[in-house]
Amino acid sequence: MTTRDSALASAGGFLAILLWSATIAVARSISEQVGPLTAGAAVCCVSGALAVVRLALSGQRRRRIRRLPLKYVLGCGALFVAYMLALYLAVGLADGRQQVLEVGLLNYLWPATTILFTVLLLKKKAGLLLLPATLMALCGVFLVLTQGEDVSWHSFTRNVATKPAVYALALYAGVSWGLYSALTRRWAGRQAQGAVDIFLPATAVVLVVLCLLLEDGPEWTVRAAGETAFLGLATYVAYGLWDGAMRRGNVVMVAAGSYLTPLLSTLVTSLYLSVAAERSLWIGCAVLVAGSLLSWLSVSDERHAPEMP
């Protein structure tokens, strides 16, 4: 693989970050109209259909997928499906749009967790800053979840207790995507192609089944259909680009760029959903971004190639 290929893969990772900045806002808007499971199922059906069509038209892509390590396909596939389910449930079940902002920031712990798992699983060298930087990112989340009250453990636990399942799902999403990103590099390495083209249809199937079992038939509007089409296309493009960046790009640099995602997502969500972000949320967002950035600065990319057991 050439330096140009690596640079293009890394650039794709940055484009994925920009597309993801709109995910929380649009997903919430769709969920409010048709329900969280239906929203997730519909978006994944669009992106999954695009993946299936692309596979059907490319024998080369099908052959490359058949050559992928089984543990990557099954292990990262399971993490991918679980992440998408947790994210859509957390966004859709949030108690009001203000809580959506908090859920979004919990999900966007993944830049920091990606760096952390990169050190643990890809044998990167970590400096002394990594631990305090990770704690700083967690402090940012703590500030967000105090919801503008006096900062204390009591206010934190009281606010989390209002919707513990929602916050737990968002936290799981933030951790699991960091693990997925690191394991993608560890298990698939610098393969020319990943398995997102089968992860997305698999996710669609799981969400459709859950939707049929647990939600009543929704009433679709033109706006909901348009938002679903946009987010389905953005999802397909973003996850494909990110998968390529994690396998063939500069993992540490792209993960570092992702520290801007919480800020961009909060801004887009505030504007799109017409909800004012409180001062504590912006402060928490800034601390989270700073912690993620320091995490990146504490890790050296001059290390062994990822282990391929």
DSSP codes joined into one string, 119-136: HHHH-PEE-TTHHHHHHH
Cα separation, 4 vs 169, in Å, equals 38
Q: Using CA atoms, how far apart are residues 253 and 235, in angstroms rounded to an integer?
A: 22
Residue 118 placed within a domain: yes
| pTM (2 d.p.) | 0.83
Domain of residue 69 covers 3-300
Domain count for the chain, please give it. 1
Decide if 309 is inside a domain. Answer: no
Half-sphere exposure of 261 (CA within 13 A, CB side): 29
| Strand-pair partners of 126 | 299
- Pull the structure tokens for residue 218: 């929704």
The dihedral of CA 287, 292, 293, 298: what is its sign?
positive
Contacts of 36 (CB under 8 A, 6+ apart): 88, 89, 91, 92, 93
C-beta separation of 214 from 37 below 8 A? yes
Phi and psi torsions of 303, nearest 5°: -140, 180
* 308 is a domain residue: no
Q: Do 181 and 63 contact (CB within 8 A), yes or no?
A: no
**Does 273 reside within a domain?**
yes
153 within a domain of the structure (yes/no) = yes
pLDDT by residue, tens only, the chain of 309 residues: 577 778 888 889 889 888 988 999 999 999 999 999 999 999 999 999 999 998 999 888 888 888 888 999 999 999 999 999 999 999 999 988 888 988 888 888 887 788 888 888 877 777 788 888 888 888 887 787 775 555 566 667 777 888 899 999 999 999 999 899 889 888 877 665 678 889 999 999 999 999 988 887 788 999 999 999 999 999 899 877 887 887 778 877 786 677 778 888 888 899 999 988 778 788 888 888 888 788 777 776 543 333 322
For residue 306, is it within any domain? no
Q: CA nearest 50: which of 215, 199, 226, 155?
A: 199
Please give the distance of CA 167 from its chain centroid, rounded to a whole number.
Answer: 15
In a domain, 120, yes or no: yes
CB-CB contact of 253 with 115 (8 Å): no
Q: Is residue 305 part of a domain?
A: no
